[in-house]
Amino acid sequence: MRRTVPFSEAQANLSELVDEVIATRQPLEITRGGAPVAVLLSTADYAALAETLNILSDAELVRDISQGQETQGEDVTTDSLLSSLDSARRGCR
């Protein structure tokens, strides 16, 4: 479960919270007046999220990955597609 902290706590302890997010690789939800207003996440997680969104926005690439999985006799699910995208992303580094 995602940890949640009030804005005032995040403001007072930002350095420690940044260290926590980097160490745990878990996003931190920040609230104001009890309502979620922001999320703190590591740059590595942000980059991975942005890259995944970029790949998923490329319909041709998603189709190619799906067709490749079907050719190999795999069921194409959202989880299997995201796993393939993650593997491909790690292989490109």
53 shares its domain with 79: yes
Mean pLDDT of 31-37: 97
48 shares its domain with 87: yes
Is residue 12 scored above 50 in pLDDT?
A: yes
The pTM (predicted TM-score) of the whole model is 0.62
53 shares its domain with 78: yes
31 shares its domain with 17: yes
Q: What is the pLDDT of residue 68?
A: 72
| Nearby residues of 49 by Cβ (< 8 Å), 6 or more positions away | 41
The domain total for the chain is 2
35 shares its domain with 51: no
Q: What would the pLDDT profile of 70-93 be if each residue is shown by its tens digit?
A: 666 666 676 776 777 677 666 654
48 shares its domain with 78: yes
CB 29 within 8 A of CB 39: yes
Question: 18 is in which domain, residue-wise?
Answer: 3-41
CATH number, position 37 = 3.40.1620.10
**At 17, which amino acid appears?**
L
58 shares its domain with 82: yes
37 shares its domain with 51: no
Mean pLDDT of 48-73: 78
Bridge-based pairing of strands 3-6 and 28-32 is parallel
Q: Which residue has 């926005």 as its token pair?
A: 57
27 shares its domain with 52: no
